[in-house]
Chains A and B, each alone.
Chain A
Amino acid sequence: MTPCIVIIDDETITLKQLRRILEKEGYQVSTFSNPRRALEHIEKESCHVVISDIRMPSMSGMTLMTLVKARCPGTEVILITGYASLDGAIEATREGAFYYLEKPFTPDQVRERVRQALEQSLIKEHSTSSIPRWPRNAGGPVIIGESVKIREIVSTIRQIGPTECNVLITGDSGSGKELAARAIHGTSLRRKGPFVAFNCSALTEPLMDNELFGHEKGAFTGADNRSKGFLETADTGTLFLDEIGEMPPSMQAKLLRVLQEGELIRVGGNRPVPIDVRIVSATAVNMKEAVNQGVFRKDLYFRINVVNIKLPGLSELKQDIPLLSYHILNRLNGRRGTQVNAISEKAMALLCDYAFPGNVRELENILERAAALCKHETIRVCDLPPDLIELELQTYKIPDEHLLTLSELEQDYIAHLLKITGGVRTRTAEILGIDRASLWRKMKKYSLS
């Protein structure tokens, strides 16, 4: 799709000049000297970027911008003026202008600003229209991202969803393991059945036994009625076992029996209860290591790990951060009633630069805070947490070994030979297989005495 740009100015020369610059870039350009005509056009055709003069006889650029934003919130507006002032620029950007361009401008300036505005506009468009790529009628949640890694994950989930195999999802805390599990359930043939999530690290062993397997009446003091456990509740559906690596050994044995036999025995009971449940597990720990150390049963590991999905951390999905951020903002607007619909370029650059050790959960928290504090429709740098603005976070890597260049190697070797020959040049030249004059030239080159 060719990006559409609308230019409005009462000076015909400026219109022609801008049209020429932008058409060369391959954009679809429409020019208007009358702002009202331009508005009618934008309403009918919609566009990605509007470039408008501030001072026009029939309507000011600021009013035009307000009307454009009201009709098409995703459209970015660049204001141009021959009477630039700091106050004017501040006011324009506060009202939602993408940029305040001062006349006379160079073609490069125009190209660069339009390119940036287009990027922002396309991000907004993606966040509102093209994000729900997940088949909603299938009941699956939305997995956001355009990066190769996310596309691969989505493709794997779509492929394995309708099968009955057990899945192990691995990934750091906050990387969206439960979301992926829900997506698997949503694309499976069990999607009309229940999806039950259970955290294996949150309870003590007896409590976990009771919660997972249920109990019979009179199984223990206070067990007045028969109770179904999470496994039975998830019958004909999917049971999501989070933090499965933390499951105690006795529970592992009982779960293995459920997977092998398709039946369970409630606490205090002796009659097997048949169940039909698909297990999707998740963990942040290295399960292979846990198996090797004997902490986790090997047979259970193979049962739950028929397919493994590894979720990347947000620091590996930098290109998806803008898309994710706008998706989270849209959700916040719906849930909290906020009216924040944009993130300034600088604020977005800060977010993209951050390492996100807390992954998507941390991004959500940062945006929720920013949306709550934000006094305008756009999240700006000042709305982000101070530590993000003032501090720089880096993942420490072992520095690469310093590799020598050929001349550095030659210099070191000559110095080494001079040392072991006691500075005797004839002997050094002999070992090197060169004549004394060549050695002398090299010594001079490398400042070796």
Chain B
Amino acid sequence: MFRNILLLFENDNILAEALVYVRELAIRTDAAVTLLILVPMSFTGHTLIGPRRSLVQDIEIRMGKCLSESLQPFIQSGIEVNSALKIGDPAEELMKFLADHPPFQSLVWGSDRQLPDSGRKPGRHWISKVLGNLECSLLTVSKRGLE
């Protein structure tokens, strides 16, 4: 196994097309897939997690369910698949995650929330902060328009 694909989600916004594409790509390239959900949450000003513990627990339950459902098509296709959930500053959490794991050869954006396009000012989305530091280019998936 020489290829690892990282499928990134923001919250529980999961784009079905991205799941389909990554599954097919993994089959074609004999790759392992890691699903990573990043949940933006600010802990600024909180020295203890206490007040936010129940909220974090709620998120963990909801996202765990979401991850479990998303993993099924990969497992059924016999693809090696892992999953992770990170809560906090998404840009920081993503960089920490990448540093802790072997290099990924493909990074795919799996949320249905659109990344900023050329019509909007850059920098609004956290991904633009880390784009230059990613180990490979970030791919976005969309449904092809009818001709």
| Chain A residues in the interface with B (C-beta under 8 A) | 172-174, 201, 243, 284-286, 355, 357-358, 361-362, 365-366, 385-387, 389-402
Contacts and interface: CB of A to CB of B under 8 A. Distances in A.
A391 B29 contact: no
Given A387-B25, A390-B17, 17 more contacts: A173-B105, A201-B2, A285-B103, A355-B139, A361-B29, A385-B24, A385-B28, A387-B20, A390-B143, A390-B144, A391-B143, A391-B144, A392-B144, A393-B139, A394-B142, A396-B140, A400-B122
Contacts of B115: 396
Nearest to A172: B105
Contacts, number: 95
Most buried by B among A286, A365, A366: A365
B118 interface: yes
Interface string B10-27: 000000010011001100
B52 interface: no
Nearest to B27: A365
Chain A interface helix/strand/loop/mixed: loop
A358 B103 contact: no
A357 B105 contact: yes
A88 B29 CA distance: 40
Contacts of B2: 173, 201, 243
A251 B117 CA distance: 47
Contacts of A243: 2
5 contacts: A201-B2, A361-B29, A395-B137, A395-B138, A398-B128
Nearest to B132: A398
B140 A284 contact: no
B137 A392 contact: no
Interface residues of B, number: 38
Contacts of B25: 357-358, 362, 387
A380 to B, nearest CB: 16
A391 B3 contact: no
Contacts of A398: 122, 128, 131-132
Given A173-B2, A399-B122, A387 B105 contact: no
Nearest to A389: B144
A393 B24 contact: no
A362 B3 CA distance: 12
A392 B143 contact: yes
Contact of A358 (B29, B120, B138, B140): B29
A310 B3 CA distance: 19
A284 B105 contact: yes
